[in-house]
Amino acid sequence: MIFTLTNLLPPEEVTSIVNRLDPEDFIDGKLTAGWAAKRVKENTQLGSKVSYGNEIKEKLKQALIKHQKFQSAARPKTVHSMLISRYEAGMSYGAHVDNALMGNHLRSDLSFTIFLNSPKGYEGGELIIQEAEQDRAIKLEAGSVIVYPSSTLHRVAEVKTGVRLVAVGWVQSLFRDPAQREILYDLDRARRSIFKTSGKSQEFDWIAKSMSNLMRQWSDM
**Annotated binding residue at 154?**
yes
Q: What is the DSSP letter of 188?
A: H
Model confidence band, residue 96 (pLDDT cutoffs 50, 70, 90): very high
Model confidence band, residue 104 (pLDDT cutoffs 50, 70, 90): confident
Q: How far apart are CA 62 and CA 164, in angstroms?
A: 23
Q: How far apart are CA 27 and CA 118, in angstroms?
A: 22
User: Tell me: the pLDDT tens digits for 141-200?
Assistant: 999 999 999 999 999 999 999 999 999 999 999 999 999 999 999 999 999 999 999 999
> Is the whole model's pTM more than 0.85, yes or no?
yes
Model confidence band, residue 220 (pLDDT cutoffs 50, 70, 90): confident
User: Tell me: the pLDDT tens digits for 110-143?
Assistant: 999 999 999 999 999 999 999 988 999 999 999 9
Q: 3-173: what CATH class? A: mainly beta
**Annotated binding residue at 136?**
no
Please determine, for residue 221, whether its predicted confidence score (pLDDT) is greater than 80. no
pLDDT at position 97 is 95
Return the bridge partners of 107, or none.
Answer: 101
Model confidence band, residue 32 (pLDDT cutoffs 50, 70, 90): confident
**Annotated binding residue at 176?**
no
Return the bridge partners of 171, or none.
Answer: 79, 110
Model confidence band, residue 44 (pLDDT cutoffs 50, 70, 90): very high
Q: What is the phi/psi pair of residue 100, to 5°?
A: -70, -35
Q: How far apart are CA 98 and CA 115, in angstroms?
A: 18
User: Tell me: the pLDDT tens digits for 188-215?
Assistant: 999 999 999 999 999 999 999 999 999 9
Instruction: Report which of 4, 219, 173 is spatially closest to residue 79, judged by C-alpha positions.
Output: 173
Query: In this structure, are strands 101-102 and 159-162 parallel, antiparallel, or unpaired?
Result: unpaired
Strand ranges (E), the chain:
3-5, 26-28, 41-42, 44-46, 76-87, 92-96, 101-102, 106-107, 110-115, 122-124, 127-130, 135-138, 145-149, 154-156, 159-162, 164-173
